[in-house]
């Protein structure tokens, strides 16, 4: 008589155990010990928006904080990655899908420096961010092209904005991180105008990993810029079925040209993407086989 009952109980236990196990695996993947020479870059899935955690054994930098709707996801992710302090919070530009989660991050974590472009925005979200920064007694650093920032082995050079653009997206702080022989480019929502300015400035743009500008929008990622960066991997941060139709099909075609040999990751298809470097080589995650459309969904 107790057999069916036991089977029933086991049936109930197994899914719970599987769920628990997958939570444990996810948590340990994010919080696995980091080697002294390793930098781990987490392109966090915050739906439509950007939030990128750059983490070494000793230091951490956050570039953007996603939309306010995703703030709990962001806070939970930072904690699961073992973050308590952030050496820098970089708000690439004051649009809600980049700064929405930042007021809570600034309130709840030890933050040492805030980097933002010289552009204001009349939104409640921006006001909230400024007041969180003020309450913490933090000063805002407005970077110039060529400025460098370092937090231990995490080192950046600012490449943009190279001039005062009318459009807020083009005012995005663009930063290139170099670690040994490897490099990562973080573009915020910079569009063609800022990309052309970066090309004109003749700064080194070549990077192993490109965070594709403006969620893969048509207005970013010119062929010339993509050729100059010449990445082996690219990441698009965007929400599933977003109303902007990001990423744009033309951008996906450019990224997917066989001669470019770019491995593309998308947070809407792959979830959070973690890419690590030991200074000699970049290790992107293996592509998930169950998501064959990650190279580009031709339907949208
Ligand atoms: Zn954006």
Question: Phi/psi at 211 (nearest 5 deg)?
Answer: -85, 110
Q: Taking the CA of residue 221 as centre, how many other CA atoms within 13 Å lie in the half-sphere pointing to its CB?
A: 28
Q: Where exactly are the structural domains of the chain? A: 35-295
Residue of 175, 74, 61, 78 lying closest to 112 (CA atoms): 61
Distance 214 CA to ligand 1 centre (A): 5
Strands of the chain (E only): list them: 39-43, 52-55, 60-63, 85-90, 110-115, 140-141, 148-151, 154-160, 174-179, 182-186, 209-211, 233-236, 263-266, 273-277, 282-283
- Ligand 1 centroid–CA 98 distance in Å is 6
For residue 121, the model assigns a pLDDT of 87
Domain 35-295 has CATH 3.90.226.30: no
CA 22 to ligand 1 centroid distance, Å: 31
CA distance 105 to 89: 9
Supply the DSSP string of 1-53, one letter for each residue: -HHHHHHHHHHHHHHHHHHHHHHHHHHHHHHSPPPTT-EEEEE---SSS--EE
User: What is the distance in A from the centroid of ligand 1 to the CA of 25?
Assistant: 30
Task: Using the mean position of ligand 1's atoms as its centre, give its distance from the Cα of residue 93 in Å.
Answer: 9
Residue 177 is predicted with a pLDDT of: 98
Q: What was the pLDDT predicted at 30?
A: 56
Task: Please enumerate in sequence order all residues whose Cβ is within 8 A of that of 165, keeping only pairs 6 or more positions apart, or say none.
Answer: 171, 193, 194
Q: Report which of 272, 66, 41 is spatially closest to residue 178, judged by C-alpha positions.
A: 41
pLDDT tens by residue, the chain, 300 residues: 344 444 444 445 445 554 444 444 444 455 689 999 999 999 999 999 999 999 999 999 999 999 999 999 999 999 999 999 999 999 999 999 999 999 999 999 999 999 999 998 889 999 999 999 999 999 999 999 999 999 999 999 999 999 999 999 999 999 999 999 999 999 999 999 999 999 999 999 999 999 999 999 999 999 999 999 999 999 999 999 999 999 999 999 999 999 999 999 999 999 999 999 999 999 988 765 444 444 443 333
Question: Is the distance from CB of 75 to CB of 66 less than 8 angstroms?
Answer: no
Mark the residues whose beta carbon lies below 5 A from ion ligand 1.
97, 189
Q: Which of 234, 282, 276, 286 is nearest to 56 (CA)?
A: 276
How many CB atoms are located within 10 Å of the residue 138 CB?
15
- What is the per-residue burial (b if ≥16 Cβ within 10 Å, else e) of 147-180? eebebebbebbbbbbbeebeeebbbbbbbbbbbe
- CA-nearest of 184, 219, 223 to 204 is 184
How close is the Cα of 202 to the center of ligand 1, in Å?
A: 26
Q: How far is the CA of 24 from the centre of ligand 1 (A)?
A: 31
Q: Measure 59 CA to ligand 1 centroid, in angstroms.
A: 26
C-alpha of residue 67 to centroid of ligand 1, in Å: 9
Please give the distance, rounded to the nearest whole angstrom, from the Cα atom of residue 43 to the centre of ligand 1: 14
């Amino acid at each position: 008589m107790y057999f069916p009952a036991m089977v029933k109980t086991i049936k109930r236990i197994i899914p719970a155990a599987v769920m628990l196990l997958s939570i444990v695996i996810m948590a340990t993947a994010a919080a696995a010990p980091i080697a002294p020479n390793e930098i781990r870059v987490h392109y966090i899935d915050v739906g439509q928006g950007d939030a990128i955690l750059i983490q070494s054994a000793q230091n951490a930098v956050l570039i953007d904080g996603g939309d306010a709707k995703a703030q709990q996801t962001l806070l939970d992710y930072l904690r699961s990655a073992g973050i308590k302090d952030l050496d820098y919070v970089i708000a690439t530009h004051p649009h809600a899908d980049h700064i929405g989660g930042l007021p809570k991050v600034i309130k709840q974590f030890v933050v040492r420096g805030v980097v933002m472009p010289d552009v204001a925005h009349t939104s409640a979200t921006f006001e909230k961010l400024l007041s969180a920064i003020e309450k913490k007694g933090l000063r805002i650093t407005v970077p110039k092209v060529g400025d460098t920032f370092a937090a231990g082995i995490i080192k950046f050079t600012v490449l943009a904005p190279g001039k005062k653009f009318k459009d807020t997206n083009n005012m995005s702080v663009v930063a290139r991180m170099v670690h040994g022989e490897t490099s990562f480019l973080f573009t915020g929502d910079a569009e063609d105008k800022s990309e052309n300015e970066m090309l004109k400035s003749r700064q080194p743009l070549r990077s192993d990993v490109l965070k594709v500008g403006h969620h893969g929008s048509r207005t970013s990622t010119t062929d010339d810029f993509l050729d100059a960066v010449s990445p082996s991997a690219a990441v698009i941060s965007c929400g599933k079925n977003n109303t902007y139709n990001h990423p744009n099909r033309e951008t996906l075609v450019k990224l997917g040209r066989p001669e470019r040999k770019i491995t593309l990751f998308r947070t809407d298809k792959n979830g959070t993407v973690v890419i690590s470097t030991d200074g000699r080589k970049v290790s992107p995650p293996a592509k998930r086989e169950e998501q064959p459309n990650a190279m580009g969904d031709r339907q949208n």
